[in-house]
Amino acid sequence: MTEIRMKVNGSVESLDVEPWVSLLDALRERLGLTGPKKGCDQGACGACTVLADGMRINACLALAVQYDGREITTIEGVAHPLQEAFVRHDGFQCGYCTPGQICSAIGMLAEYEAGMPSAVTKARGLSDAEIRERMSGNLCRCGAYNGIVDAILDVAG
Ligand code: FES
């Protein structure tokens, strides 16, 4: 067991974790934060996306011990205009992917503002194609992609 301390949604949390425990399992099972979802548990769906020091990560691929001393934000700690925009634009159906979509979109907007390139040629402003490329790590099995893109455009525009 290793003792780690993380600031999670503004509160400092100390917990003992085995070295193989993922950040996702630590958040869900040790801290009771079930907003981040376990979809594939192998980095393919994005349902587990959280923010680590403001950058989006797949919590299922991260070991909790790697995040000792870091600041983690899950959907439970998010208060962002994107949340109302998702409601306005029907950016979800069943809602399972939504916590990850919103955390990912917040991280994506920060990456975009910091000038991090995507695979799509960056024109002025975020285009529909640019958003789809930058959000391609977050799957929605209901197919609410149009609403998700519209919600992000609403906030980013
Ligand atoms: Fe982490 Fe699917 S549960 S990417």
pLDDT over threshold 70, residue 29: yes
Percent of the chain predicted with pLDDT > 90: 90
- Residues of CATH 1.10.150.120 domain(s) within the chain? 81-156
CA of 14 to the centre of ligand 1 (A): 24
Range list for CATH 3.10.20.30 in the chain: 2-77
DSSP single-letter state for residue 7: E
Q: Look at the block and give the residue holding tokens 């998700």.
A: 148
Residue 27 confidence (pLDDT): 98
What is the fold of 2-77?
Ubiquitin-like (UB roll) (3.10.20)
Q: What would the pLDDT profile of 70-86 be if each residue is shown by its tens digit?
A: 999 999 999 999 999 99
In which region does residue 46 sit, left (phi positive, over 0), alpha (psi from -120 to 50) or beta (all else)? left
Q: Which helix (H) or strand (E) holds 121?
A: none
Cβ atoms 49, 103 nearer than 8 A? yes
Q: Average pLDDT of 110-137?
A: 86
Q: Which two tokens stand for residue 4?
A: 């780690």
User: Distance, CA 84 to ligand 1 centroid (Å)?
Assistant: 24
CATH classification (class only), 81-156: mainly alpha
What's the pLDDT score for residue 122?
Answer: 57
Task: Name the pairing type of β-strands 71-73 and 2-8.
Answer: parallel
Which atom belonging to ligand 1 lies closest to the Cα atom of 43?
4
Mean pLDDT of the chain: 95
Portion of the chain with pLDDT greater than 70, in percent = 97
| 46-63 b/e (C-beta count within 10 Å ≥ 16 → b) | bbbbbbbeeebbbbbebb
- Which residue is closest in CA terms to ligand 1's atom 4? 43
At 19, the pLDDT band (50, 70, 90 cuts) reads: very high
The atom number, within ligand 1, closest to the CA of 41 reads 3
Ligand 1: centre distance to CA 126 (Å): 25
Residue 137 Cα, ligand 1 centroid: separation in angstroms? 9
